[in-house]
Amino acid sequence: MSRTVGEERSVEVQVGALFGLEVRPSRIFVWPGADRDDRRIVSLGRPPKTIVIPRRRRRFRAGPIEVTLLGNPLLTLGQAGIAAARAARRTRGRALPPA
C-alpha cells in the first residue's frame, strides 16, 4: 500500500449500509447509508492541516464495520475533540444555524 502525503489525518468508520462517519481534526463528515455523496459536513472552526510525513492508509474490517485510518487515530480523535470543545464554547448562547 502506498504512502499518503498532502491529506489531513482522519479516522473513518462505515457501518454497513446504515451510515458512515469521518473524523478529521478540522471537521466531521456524516452520511447516511454507504453513499458519501449525501454527506453533511460539521466544521470545527480550524483550518485543515495536511500530513507532511508520508503515512500509510490502514483498513480494518469486523463484520459489517469497516475502519480506515490515516495517521495516528488517538492523535486525530484528540485534536478533533479539543476543536469540538472549543467550537461548542464559542457557540454557547448563540442559536445554531439552520442545516
Report pLDDT for 99: 56
- Given a contact cutoff of 8 angstroms between Cβ atoms, the answer to whether 44 and 91 are in contact is no
Average pLDDT over residues 54-83: 94
Percent of the chain predicted with pLDDT > 70? 92
Exposure class string for 65-77: b at 16+ Cβ within 10 A, else e: ebebbbbeeeebe
Q: Is the pLDDT of residue 94 over 70?
A: no
Say which residues have a Cβ less than 8 Å from residue 61's Cβ, sequence separation at least 6: 67
Separation of alpha carbons 78 and 30, rounded Å? 18
Evaluate if pTM is beyond 0.85: no
Query: For 73, how many CA atoms within 13 A lie in the half-sphere containing its CB?
Result: 11
